[in-house]
Structure 1
Amino acid sequence: MTTPASSSDPRQGAFWRATTVVYWFVVVECCFLLAAAPGLAGVLLLERHPSNIPLYALCLVPLGPAFAAAVSTMAARASADETNVWPRYWRAYVRNLVDVLWVWIPALALATVLGTTVAFGASVGVDLFFGGAAIVLLVALALWSSHALVIASFFRFRARDIARLALYYLAAKPLVTLGAASYLVLAIALVTFGSDWMLALAAVVFAALAGANARPMIADVRARFTTDAE
């Protein structure tokens, strides 16, 4: 029996593509929430007070690897089988865990010092200039961390090489850096005017934005600093 000429692969239809996109977003978000659960629980229980900055930093440790795995998983959506999202995320999580933590934990430690300086500098007599410098450094650190997490999501480099590349691309790819600044501002606004839960539930959206925004940087890293087609 022959297949009618009018029949077509349902996976080519608009409805199928739309539901596949939703499926990827939902599954990756669930994976992220599960991987980041210990840290998210702590963040949601902590009072929003500057004295809790070190505890916030500690709670954010699991979020780095969870977010990095979401970035690399969402970046593969266009070319991957739509049924293998769950195992793909956890393979990415395990593969990148150590590399991500090597850059994420020092970034959090430095952010704790800078954040504490900004929060309590005036009360302990820190000069206004140093308070302003701490804010500038915090912004630069956030942008650097965004680049570093994305690079660690896609490549198996040494921690110091990831750090150097992330610093280099802050200036080498200004549009990528500007894009990172845009979604970081959006994340801050979401927490400030909404809640921590809202940001957590939107994590997969930010992961997709981060991966899409970083495509020029990733392509340049692959072309200039790798010897294979990974």
Structure 2
Amino acid sequence: MNDLVAAQRQFGTGPLSRVAAIVYRLIVVELLLLAGVLPGLVPALLLARDPSNIPLYALCAVPLGPALSAALYALAQHRPDITDLNPAADFWRGYRTNFGGTLRLWLPLLAGLTVVAVNLAYFDAAGVPTWWAVLLVLIAVAATVWGGTALVITSLFAFRTRDVARLAAHFLTRTPSTSLGVLALTVVAAGTTAYTSEAVLALAGSVLTLLLLRTSRPMTTAIEKEFVR
């Protein structure tokens, strides 16, 4: 009996099982993430890449926030035991739990970035100084990094929206490795979309989400120690 229990334990937690567990979770989360963003992905693929369509692209990105939050939650629940996996249930639990809180952060962020993008797209026609464009770019970068960290916080912790916003702003400089990681992933995502398509980015969604979760670990560890009781 002891040998049987030991064999079952080794099967569930051995190196090969751990690799299989994370691969399985990534595949399931990827499929569910695609399902979550599909209402926005399909029309985004049909839109012409013209500055006049920037507000429509922003509307297409609305489903991305809750779906990405659910993916972060599901990947954070990962257990190395292949006999104890239920990523689909974790994903939908995260989707339901974080839906409202995510949209309260995601919608204002999209609206602000849309305004900046439209201003930059028609910058020459506006006839404003060059330094104004530089300022807009800096604002967009800071807002994007803040939004990425806020999304991680609201996906993994049960804080009020205003507390999430404050914590995200606090950790912009408190954990620079997290901020730089979010910025790097944003550049990768933007470059992938610009040089290929939104579909290619979507197919790598679960891997990029896992990287976002890993690069945010210094921040989430600090939050667990200092703000969670």
Q: What TM-score do you get using the length of structure 1 for normalisation? A: 0.92
Question: 1:218 is matched with which residue: 207, 212, 220?
Answer: 220
2:58 aligned residue:
57
CA distance in 2, matches of 1:63, 1:185: 17
- Superposed CA RMSD in Å reads 2.0
CA distance in 2, matches of 1:125, 1:7: 72
Kept in 2, the 8 Å contact 1:24–1:82? The answer is no
Report deviation, 1:7.
4.9
In the alignment, is residue 84 of structure 1 matched against residue 86 of structure 2? yes
Report deviation, 1:10.
2.2
1:171 aligned residue:
173
Deviation string 1:7-40 (CA, Å, 9 cap, x unpaired) is 5632234333322222111100011111111111
> What does 1:39-188 correspond to in 2, within 5 Å?
39-78=40-79, 82-188=84-190
Kept in 1, the 8 Å contact 2:70–2:155? The answer is yes
Deviation string 1:74-124 (CA, Å, 9 cap, x unpaired) is 122136764311111000110001111000000000001111111102112
Kept in 1, the 8 Å contact 2:25–2:87? The answer is yes
3-state secondary structure, aligned to 1:83: coil
3-state secondary structure, aligned to 1:48: coil
Percent identity (aligned): 37
CA distance in 2, matches of 1:151, 1:13: 31
Q: Which amino acid in 2 is paired with 1:132?
A: V
2:15 aligned residue:
14
Q: Which amino acid in 1 is paired with 2:140?
A: L
- How many residues matched? 227
Kept in 1, the 8 Å contact 2:77–2:90? The answer is no
1:53–1:5: structure 2 CA closer, same or farther, 3 Å change rule?
Answer: closer
CA distance in 1, matches of 2:106, 2:176: 22
1:54–1:223: structure 2 CA closer, same or farther, 3 Å change rule?
Answer: same
Q: Which moved more, 1:156-165 or 1:199-208?
A: 156-165
Deviation string 1:152-197 (CA, Å, 9 cap, x unpaired) is 1011222111111111111111111111111111112211222211
1:209 aligned residue:
211
1:10–1:49: structure 2 CA closer, same or farther, 3 Å change rule?
Answer: same
CA distance in 1, matches of 2:99, 2:38: 16
CA distance in 1, matches of 2:7, 2:103: 50
The runs of 5 or more residues in structure 2 that have no matched partner are none
Kept in 2, the 8 Å contact 1:75–1:212? The answer is no
Q: Which amino acid in 1 is paired with 2:110?
A: L
1:25 aligned residue:
26
CA distance in 2, matches of 1:30, 1:5: 34
Q: Which amino acid in 2 is paired with 1:98?
A: G
Report deviation, 1:67.
0.5
Q: Which amino acid in 1 is paired with 2:120?
A: V
